[in-house]
Amino acid sequence: MSDTPPRNFHAIHITKDKCIGCVHCLSACPTKAIRVEGGKARIIDQLCIDCAECLRVCPHDAIHSHMTSFAALEAFDYKVAIPSTVLYGQFGPTVVPNEILSALRRVGFDEVYDLSSICELNCAATEEYLNEHPSPRPYITSTCPVVVRLIQRRYPTLCGQILPIEPPREIAAKILRTILPKSLGIPAERIGIIHITPCPAKMVSINSPATLAKSYLDGAISIRDIFPQILQALRKSEEDALMRHLFPETLFSGIGMGWPLSGGETRGLKKHRAVAVSGIRDTMRVLDEVEGGLLQDIDVLECTVCPDGCVGGPLGVENRFLAKSRVLELVAAAGEHAVVDQKDVSRLYHKNFLSFDHPVAPAEARPLDGDRVKAIRKAKLRERVFAELPLKDCGVCGAPDCRTLADDIARGYARLEACPFVEAGPRRAAVPANGRAKGGPKAGPKKKAKKEKP
């Protein structure tokens, strides 16, 4: 990893050669961060939250995520994997988590740690934090890096409501980074701690952390990339698997095991009222309500932008319904008993070992203009332009919808001529279907209707 990561690191990128400039990603993007220019999609750096909605819908495989490659691990003398518990749901019912961890060792990791106990620890720390902080309400959990970035950009007033306990992956890496150099006698920088995940945004939280001076993780490998190797290792060692079944070495937490399912983060809370939301659109709808002062009777709001939680991450292999079913089996098998001691958690918590280094800061605001009077002028211009547009949201202009085109025009990034319907002025009059009010005080940059048909 570079010592000075770029300020606006992104995991999601467009492969120009494969992009044909269609409109699938445009309309899928929840923050309207994509434009098609010169026949190719472009992501606006400031607006992208790395949710990967575009990656999911691209029919031409032109959008990909920059994850850590397996080869990059060669830089480390000692390689540690901490897989997301989503990984346990990617295999059939006969493959137990201990075998998966063991297979990862054979793939090339020197040590592999289960995260479910740390998930339970996080939940206990969250409980303690909520006990000590009766307001504001609701707090919002920070596990989903996309939610944190969404709040920074779209809901800046909610930054102070993000619950300042680091997510399990960072806590686990921090603990390992504290104990491993001493126990192994290897310098900390020679030890690589790698997360295995279905989520491209983890690369963003590692490279541009929102709440830490530096991430405790060295990289994130996607489940999709490492899956074939795990499968191969599993196939080669059926006898080994039998031993693992008979003599499990890791004690899994039932509370932590359910973490990748929506509601799993807060399921272990005993005294607090939690609400879990999943999916990017629903998350935005609920955050709008929180920004409007609602949900104050809820203690903690768990938001994950992937459908059904992390188990619906875009870089998984198994379809999320089967994965979810498998995870639920594992939750039931692990039982409800606690594997972490609340007193130990409390000690770590009071040492601030589990806290953010700094609070989440709002992203730079993007007003229509830095000058208040000019901003008002541009807002009025935007309304006049919008009244000219056909509201078809076709994407042909390169913006995702008419509203965004009007916004781009007001900001000086686009021109009204980009709209094919405005060009075809006379025909528009013949199609009154959209029911817009004609006439009225329109002083916008109205195109002169061409009389002759081309």
Name the region of 103 (left: φ>0; alpha: ψ -120 to 50; beta: rest): alpha
Strand ranges, E, within 38-131? 40-43, 63-65, 78-83, 111-112
Nearer of residues 68 and 283 to other proteins, judged by Cβ: 283
Alpha helices by DSSP H, 316-438? 320-334, 342-350, 372-388, 402-411, 420-423, 425-430
Distances (CA, A) of 417 to 38, 44, 422, 433: 15, 21, 7, 22
Q: Which of 365, 430, 437, 443 binds other proteins (CB under 8 A)?
A: 365
Q: Which two tokens stand for residue 427?
A: 């025909």
By CB under 8 A, residue 447 contacts other proteins = no
Smallest distance, Å, CB 393 to other proteins?
A: 17
By CB under 8 A, residue 375 contacts other proteins = yes
The stretch among 102-110, 214-222, 378-386, 424-432 that binds other proteins (CB under 8 A) is 378-386
The stretch among 4-12, 91-99, 249-257, 358-366 that binds other proteins (CB under 8 A) is 358-366
Q: Which of 59, 134, 185, 370 binds other proteins (CB under 8 A)?
A: 370
Smallest distance, Å, CB 376 to other proteins?
A: 4
Smallest distance, Å, CB 230 to other proteins?
A: 44
Q: Which two tokens stand for residue 11?
A: 């995991």
CA nearest neighbour of 132 among 272, 275, 265: 272
Kindly identify the residues of this chain, within the stretch 270-299, that bind other proteins according to CB under 8 A.
288-289, 291-294, 296-297
Cis peptide before 138 (omega within 30 of 0): yes
Q: Which two tokens stand for residue 259?
A: 């973490």
Helix (H) or strand (E) holding 132: helix 116-132
By CB under 8 A, residue 359 contacts other proteins = no
- Which residue in the block uniquely carries the two structure tokens 């983890």? 202
How many residues in the chain?
454
Alpha helices by DSSP H, 247-319? 254-257, 280-291
Q: Which of 367, 412, 426, 445 binds other proteins (CB under 8 A)?
A: 367
Nearer of residues 379 and 418 to other proteins, judged by Cβ: 379
Kindly identify the residues of this chain, within the stretch 152-191, that bind other proteins according to CB under 8 A.
156-157
Smallest distance, Å, CB 152 to other proteins?
A: 11
Residues engaged in binding other proteins (CB under 8 A): 156-157, 288-289, 291-294, 296-297, 362, 365-370, 372-373, 375-377, 379-380, 383
